[in-house]
Chains A and B, each alone.
Chain A
Amino acid sequence: MHKFVRLSALAAAVAAVPLAASAEGITNRTIGYVLTNKSWAVYQTPDGKTECPAGLNDGPREQFKALYPDDGKQRTLLETHLAREADIWFPNENEPETDKGPLPFRYAAGKMALGLNLDGKIGSKDFSGPRGDTGIDNELYRVLGCVPGFRGPDGANYFFENDYMQRYIFNRVLLEITDVDDLTNDNDVTVTTYRGLDGLLTSANGKDFIAGGTQRIDDRWGKRYIHRLKGKIVDGVLTTEASDIKLPWALTFDTNPDQGFKQAKFQLRLTENSAEGLLGGYVDVKDWQHRFTINWSTHHSSYGQMSIPSITRAMRKLADAYPGPDGKMTAISAAAEMKFAQAFILHPEKSVADAAPTPGAKPVDQRAAGGQ
């Protein structure tokens, strides 16, 4: 059992003289947060007609019926069921687009979206944000915006990705901000992501996640989730410099995939109790498809009319970064909405740097460890 000896944000209980604490919640120039809510950033109007004028997309069931109508023809499992599964796991790379033909795809329209300006430019395809931001890069929104499962508050993916993130510790994401003197303005802070090992602290009704919980760092299995980012706080908003990161992003049924973000930036409004805002970055299309497909069976995707072959082809079509050897873009701009609650982050006895994986190191032999 690890001995967690350093409390990153434990208030004055253990510190006779707090060091440079200019706000409550900051101790030893450090404050921690734990992720409590996340969803892919989908801008929605009340009736959806602005962004989805042609309606919402079909899912696996509807597409199956469109491809194989009930016309009395006897079909084989190989040419139907297994062909669809083949298309899910290996979406046809040569099919150029999905907005025509037997399986039409409806992209989100309009100029408004949530997200960040990832490339520092204001291009003709960029969105504007509801608060007047410009140059927003979020092509993934065009793909997901009219897929019911990704729309809040009750879309299947919107709900369950969040629900299982909250339930399963595998998905616990911590942010620790160090070198912070002021939560309102500080032009040089360090943000470190970790995986935590504990449940979320809830209010008495069990529904609301509240500040003040404690989280241990997973410094053994969670090394891949440790990322150190530089950032600054301006008018209470933390913005980190672009960096590649990976976060645990699993659902249920014992699945355990990650979601990578290239050139990722957090933009979070900070308080002593919470952090709320966006994570923007480019997601590799193949990785996104892989993670989603691992996380969602075809049956479950049907709940939210989430057709992974159609979504993947649409992502390929709108991919806007990281050209591959053939010149085709391999990644797509994206954003996720995130909420964090303040948490006291307990560091293991050894520094995380010490715990970095040693190339070639052998793990404990499970047969030896398990035997008596």
Chain B
Amino acid sequence: MRAHHVLSGLFAALLLSASPAGAQRAVVEREGYLPEPMPPGFGVVVNEVEGPVFTDAAGKTLYSWPLKGLRNGDVGDRKNAPSACTSEVYKVNSGLMSPYPAGLILPDAATRKSCQEVWPPVLAGKDASPVGKWTVIARKDGAPQWAYDGYPLYTSTLDTAPGDVIGGTNRRARGDGPGIREPIGPHPNIPPAFEIRQMNTGRMLVNFAGFSVYAWDGDGADKSNCDAGCLKKWSPVLAAETSQPQGEWTIIQRSPGVRQWSFRKKPLYTFIADGRPKNMLGTDEPGWHNVYTQRAPAWPKEFTQQESHGGIVLADAAGKTIYLYTCGDDALDQQTCDHPTSPQEYRLAVCGGGDAARCLKTWRPVAAAKDAKAPNKTWTPIDIDPLSGHYATPDQANAMRVWAYRGRPVYNFERDAVGDVEGDAWGEFFGFRNGFKAYWLRDDFYSNAG
């Protein structure tokens, strides 16, 4: 078994570039995780978006494809069952997404690959033995495949560098989104009273009920200065009598017998005015902040933040809202259709009614400077053919350099003025399946920020 250890969560790596408004700190904090037994050859990489993820011997991120119910049936893998991602090449849609029927020829039918070609199964050796949550499940062709927590494992052909998560979606699957592949990883090193929510601003700590927790600049290291007046608005997150410090987590005594959780030496609180899980209302109070195990990677330095009619959104240099495009097709293997290497017919239908020129006008990719440099692995400049949406050829004259998030171009919407989110939920199934969603940093009314 490969040796591994609990990471402290503090990676003192220098940033490559400053973040907007000079808010970025000098070090990047990364999420700690709990050790667990793994088969030989596997490891853990702390990804800048997803946190700790398991990787194979080549450093490629491991994904699972858990079963998801769609409108007319299920897709994905069932627990402890053979993989549904096989060598079959689907030529027609499945009809699982109402209201369109099955049997329609897919746009990429002529060139489409099988599921296992784009999601190579993580095969086990003949002598592989189960370890902890890691088991071996025989594929339909008899080949042994590693599974974690009962779900068969895959890598993605879109991932190229160790710890990449390009194969994952740039949005969490909710509602009527496609059945997506999710990077898997070890359990974060957090006490049972807490959970982590993947927000567009980072991996945010919430309490057991899903409410945001906060830290205050007025506190000292492992010392609460939140007095009686302060406590009218802020509730300390109390630790049970049996709770024990772990990793970056300590417990302070507010008074004899009253114990409060502290993370990275900051006492933790909830805010009484937060009415919904993941609310961030407390950040309006001077000196109070949400708490993250790790922050979202810095977006391009020219980007801005704008107030909309529901919260704060990420915007380009001109103040126009940034949108992510997400697409999963309706074949049984639910392949992605939102990457420059994917079929573009889906996007062209909803961004321009099938007209590439109108699409480019209505949903314009966000331009990057010719000399733009990637601030990290998540935000990168790429060159695309502006009409087709595919990657540009090396010497293409009209190539457009655009910003990409997780390898996919990001967009502005034609009708938006500064602070508008007119294009939010544009596309099929409220933008979940083949459409656009704004990059929300804070949403006081819904769950758009994560």
A contact set with B: CB distance below 8 Å = 1, 60-61, 64, 74-78, 80-87, 89-90, 168-170, 220-225, 248, 253-258, 290, 293-294, 297-299, 302, 357, 362-372
Q: Does the CB pair A253–B432 fall under 8 Å?
A: yes
**Which chain A residue has the least Cβ–Cβ distance from B263?**
A372
- The verdict on A299 contacting B444 (CB below 8 Å), with A1-B281, A256-B421, A367-B21 known, is no
The one of A255, A293, A299, A362 in contact with B176, judged by C-beta atoms closer than 8 angstroms, is: A299
Q: Which residue of B lies closest to A222 (CB)?
A: B309
CA distance A85 to B434 in the complex (A): 10
- In the complex, what distance in Å separates the CA atom of A75 from the CA atom of B103? 8
On whether the beta carbons of A364 and B284 are closer than 8 Å, the reply is yes
Interface size on B, residues (CB 8 A): 81
Let me know if A298 and B428 touch, CB within 8 A: yes
Closest chain-B Cβ to A227's Cβ sits at a distance in Å of: 14
> Given the interface contacts A256-B446, A294-B424, A369-B289, does A299 sit within 8 Å of B306 by beta carbon?
no
Partner of B99, one of A64, A90, A293: A64
Give complex CA distance A299, B434 in Å: 13
- Which of A89, A258, A297 is B429 in contact with, Cβ under 8 Å? A297
Question: Does B21 lie within 8 Å of A368, measured CB to CB?
Answer: yes
By a CB distance below 8 angstroms, the chain B residues around A297 are: 176, 428-430
Whether A82 contacts B345 by the Cβ 8 Å rule is yes
Q: Considering residues A222, A255, A371, which has the most beta carbons from chain B within 10 angstroms of its beta carbon?
A: A371
Interface string of B340-355 (1 = CB under 8 A from A): 0000011001101111
B98–A255 CB distance below 8 A: no
Do A372 and B441 contact each other (CB < 8 Å), given the known contacts A81-B93, A170-B310, A367-B201?
no
Task: State whether A169 touches B350 (Cβ < 8 A).
Answer: no
Closest A-chain residue to B273, C-beta based?
Answer: A1
| Across the A-B interface, the 10 shortest Cβ-Cβ residue pairs | A90-B353, A368-B23, A366-B441, A82-B349, A369-B283, A170-B445, A86-B353, A77-B104, A254-B446, A367-B23
B380-434 interface (Cβ within 8 A of A) = 415, 421-422, 424-430, 432, 434
Let me know if A254 and B201 touch, CB within 8 A: no
Tell me the complex Cα distance, A312–B426, Å.
17
Closest to A251 in B: B430
Smallest distance from the beta carbon of B212 to chain A beta carbons, Å?
A: 10
Judged by a CB distance under 8 angstroms, whether B285 is at the interface is: yes
For A302, what are the chain B residues with a Cβ–Cβ distance below 8 Å? 98-99
B64 within 8 A of A: no
The answer to whether A364 touches B309, judged by C-beta atoms less than 8 angstroms apart, is no
CB-based nearest A residue for B25: A371
Query: Complex formed: what's the CA distance from A89 to B204 in Å?
Result: 35
Residues of B within 8 A of A77 (CB): 92-93, 100, 104-107, 330, 345
B226, CB-defined interface residue at 8 Å: no
Question: Is the CB–CB distance between A1 and B311 below 8 Å?
Answer: no
Task: Give the chain B neighbours of A86 by CB distance below 8 A.
Answer: 349-350, 353-354
Please state if A294 and B312 are interface contacts (CB–CB under 8 Å): no
Pairwise interchain contact B354-A370, C-beta atoms closer than 8 A: no
Main secondary structure of the interface of B (DSSP, over half): loop
Given contacts A85-B350, A248-B309, A365-B305, contact A1 B233 (CB under 8 A): yes
**Pick the contact of A168 from B307, B311, B312, B445 — CB < 8 Å?**
B445
Structural contact, B99 and A363, CB atoms closer than 8 A = no
Q: Report B283-319 residues with CB < 8 Å from chain A CB.
A: 283-285, 289-292, 295-296, 298, 304-312
Known: A255-B425, A297-B429. A366 touches B312 (CB 8 A): yes
Contact A370 B428 (CB under 8 A): no
Judge whether B292 and A372 touch: CB under 8 Å: yes
**Is B4 in contact with chain A by the CB < 8 A criterion?**
no
Taken together as a complex, chains A and B put the C-alpha atoms of A222 and B425 apart, in Å, by 20
Instruction: Pick from B23, B233, B266, B354: contact of A82, CB below 8 A.
Output: B354
**Contact partner, A258, options B307, B309, B346, Cβ 8 Å:** B309
Asked if B202 is at the interface of the complex by the 8 Å CB criterion, the answer is yes
Q: Is the CB of A364 within 8 A of B312?
A: yes
Q: Which single residue of chain A is at the shortest CB-CB distance from B437? A: A254
Does B19 touch A at the CB level, under 8 Å?
yes
In the assembled complex, B448 has its CB within 8 A of some CB on chain A: yes
In the complex, 19 of the A-B residue pairs with CB atoms within 8 angstroms, ordered by the A residue number, are: A1-B284, A60-B99, A64-B99, A76-B107, A81-B104, A82-B354, A87-B353, A89-B350, A170-B310, A221-B311, A253-B175, A253-B176, A254-B447, A256-B448, A294-B425, A299-B429, A363-B305, A364-B284, A367-B24
CB pair A365–B23 under 8 Å, yes or no, is: yes
Q: Which residues on B sit within 8 Å (CB–CB) of A76?
A: 104-105, 107
In the bound assembly, the distance between CA atoms of A87 and B350 in angstroms comes to 9
Query: Within the complex, what minimum Cβ distance (angstroms) separates A309 from chain B?
Result: 11
Is there contact, CB below 8 Å, between B425 and A254? yes
The yes or no answer to B251 lying at the interface (CB within 8 A) is no
B358 interfacial contact with A, CB 8 Å: yes
The residue on B at minimum CB distance from A81 is B100
A94 → chain B closest CB, angstroms: 12
Q: Does B97 contact A (CB under 8 A)?
A: yes
Q: Look across to chain B and name the residue whose beta carbon is closest to the beta carbon of A74.
A: B105
Cβ distance B106 to chain A, nearest Cβ, rounded Å = 6
Residues in chain A near residue B427, CB distance under 8 A: 89
- Cβ-defined partner of B422 (8 Å) among A83, A225, A290, A364: A290
Q: A256-B309, A290-B422 are in contact. Are A364 and B98 (CB under 8 A)?
A: no
B442 at the interface (CB under 8 A from A): yes
Chain A CB within 8 A of B165 CB: no
Chain A residue nearest in CB terms to B307: A363
User: Which residues of the partner chain B approach A74 to less than 8 Å between Cβ atoms?
Assistant: 103, 105
Q: Which residues of A contact B97 (CB under 8 A)?
A: 299
**B99 contacts across to A, CB distance below 8 A:** 60-61, 64, 298-299, 302
Measured between beta carbons, the chain B residues less than 8 angstroms from A225 are: 309
Are A370 and B204 interface neighbours, CB within 8 A? yes
B449 and chain A: residue at smallest CB distance = A366
The residues of B that contact A368 with a CB separation of less than 8 Å are 21, 23
Q: What's the Cα separation between A299 and B307 when bound, in Å?
A: 32
Task: Given A222-B309, A256-B445, answer yes or no on A367-B19 (Cβ-Cβ < 8 Å).
Answer: yes
Q: How far is the CA of A84 from the CA of B355 in the complex (A)?
A: 14
For A372, list chain B residues within 8 Å (CB). Answer: 215, 263-264, 266, 289-292
Q: Are A363 and B345 in contact (CB under 8 A)?
A: no
B430 touches A89 (CB 8 A): no
Q: Are B201 and A366 in contact (CB under 8 A)?
A: yes
Q: How far is the CA of A290 from the CA of B422 in the complex (A)?
A: 9
Report yes or no: A85 in contact with B349, Cβ–Cβ below 8 A.
Answer: yes
Shortest Cβ distance from residue B278 to the other chain A in the assembled complex, whole angstroms: 12
A363 to B321, CA, bound (A): 14
Q: In the complex, what distance in Å separates the CA atom of A297 from the CA atom of B233?
A: 41
A81 to B441, CA, bound (A): 33
